[in-house]
């Protein structure tokens, strides 16, 4: 390929390859989504169509990148876990993060009307992204546990806060003062004793977030000769991923990388 005298400017690019043999987690977060949700009149504390749209966008990302073994999302964020031996984009952080962020954002706009047929998109959303490396399966599981614990803490607070405001007639400032210093038990008591709401009956999607995985399933053969064949299917799960049950039921996710 012919080179111009300006070719030297490529030397100013920094090397941003991620270390090999490590789990790559790319987390994207919505930019200014408090403002975005207010502008689009999202229900409080949870707008199910918005959460379902986030899941659709994450599924699009997983379909594009076969190296992603699992994704986990809650609120306006999603984490994508790449297998430790992935060579996607030569493990260049900027390429991986920018591609995922842009695909997620464009999918959000593209599929908006599928989830909000009666509502126009007032302005396009934006998502920032970062790539973090985790050297072991334990580190990876602890990261995902952190995000799910964060989901539970935030959703419980928001559920009580907006119940006090919308059903209890409190101002936002008064509700915030009421909840200051309260523990999980206190919040559960407020919901149940004052409003007859059992937090444990709230949808799992709100309390646990959504985990998306792929696994092989047996389906009937199409040639009419009987028998089955394997196909890879995507599953959206609203379940606990902190305990061992999920991982024992899906050993294909990490078992081959136990030494990683």
CB atoms within 10 A of CB 39: 12
Residue (of 246, 6, 49) closest to 40 by Cα position: 49
List own/partner pairs for 225-234 with CB under 8 A and 24 or more apart. 234/59, 234/62, 234/63
Give the confidence band of 2 by pLDDT, cuts at 50, 70, 90.
Answer: low
Cα separation, 225 vs 203, in Å, equals: 43
pLDDT computed for residue 1 by the predictor = 53
Can the peptide bond before residue 178 be classed as cis, meaning omega within 30 degrees of 0? Answer: no
Contact 145, 211 (CB under 8 A): no
pLDDT computed for residue 67 by the predictor = 96
**DSSP designation for 119:** S
How much of the chain, in percent, has pLDDT values that exceed 70?
Answer: 97
Give the confidence band of 15 by pLDDT, cuts at 50, 70, 90.
Answer: confident
List pLDDT tens digits, range 131-180. 999 999 999 999 999 999 999 999 999 999 999 999 999 999 999 999 99
Give the confidence band of 224 by pLDDT, cuts at 50, 70, 90.
Answer: low
pLDDT over 90 (residue 248) = yes
Give the confidence band of 257 by pLDDT, cuts at 50, 70, 90.
Answer: confident
**DSSP labels, 41-86:** T--SS--HHHHHHHHHHHHHHHHH-TTEEEEEEETTEEEEEE-TT-
pLDDT over 80 (residue 260) = no
Cα torsion through 128, 82, 87, 11, rounded to 10: 20
**3-class secondary structure, 159:** helix
Mean pLDDT of 83-112: 98
pLDDT computed for residue 27 by the predictor = 98
List pLDDT tens digits, range 179-222. 999 999 999 999 999 999 999 999 999 999 999 999 988 787 77
Phi-psi region for residue 6, left (φ > 0), alpha (ψ -120 to 50) or beta? alpha
pLDDT computed for residue 30 by the predictor = 97
pLDDT computed for residue 225 by the predictor = 66
Mean pLDDT of 61-78: 97
Give the confidence band of 113 by pLDDT, cuts at 50, 70, 90.
Answer: very high
202's tokens: 């709230």
């Amino acid at each position: 390929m012919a080179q111009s005298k300006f070719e030297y400017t490529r030397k100013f690019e920094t090397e941003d390859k991620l270390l090999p043999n490590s789990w790559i987690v790319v987390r994207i977060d919505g930019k200014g989504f408090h403002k975005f949700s207010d502008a689009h009149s999202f229900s409080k504390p949870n707008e199910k169509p918005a959460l379902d749209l986030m899941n659709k966008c994450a599924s699009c990302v997983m379909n594009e990148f076969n190296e992603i073994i699992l994704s986990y999302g809650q609120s306006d964020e999603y984490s994508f876990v790449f297998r430790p031996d992935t060579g996607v984009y030569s493990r260049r952080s900027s390429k991986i993060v920018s591609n995922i962020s842009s695909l997620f954002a464009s999918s959000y706009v593209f599929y908006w009307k599928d989830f909000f047929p009666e509502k126009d998109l007032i302005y396009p959303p934006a998502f920032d992204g970062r790539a973090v490396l985790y050297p072991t399966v334990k580190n990876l599981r602890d990261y995902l546990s952190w995000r799910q614990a964060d989901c539970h803490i935030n959703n419980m607070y928001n559920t009580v806060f907006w119940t006090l405001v919308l059903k209890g007639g409190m101002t936002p400032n008064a509700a915030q003062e009421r909840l200051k210093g309260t523990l999980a038990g206190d919040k559960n008591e407020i919901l149940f004793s004052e409003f007859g709401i059992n937090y444990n009956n709230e949808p799992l999607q709100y309390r646990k977030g959504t985990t998306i995985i792929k696994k092989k399933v047996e389906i009937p053969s199409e040639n009419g000769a009987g028998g089955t064949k394997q196909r890879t299917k995507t599953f959206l799960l609203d379940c606990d991923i902190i305990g061992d049950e999920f991982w024992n039921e899906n050993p294909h996710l990490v078992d081959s990388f136990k030494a990683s």
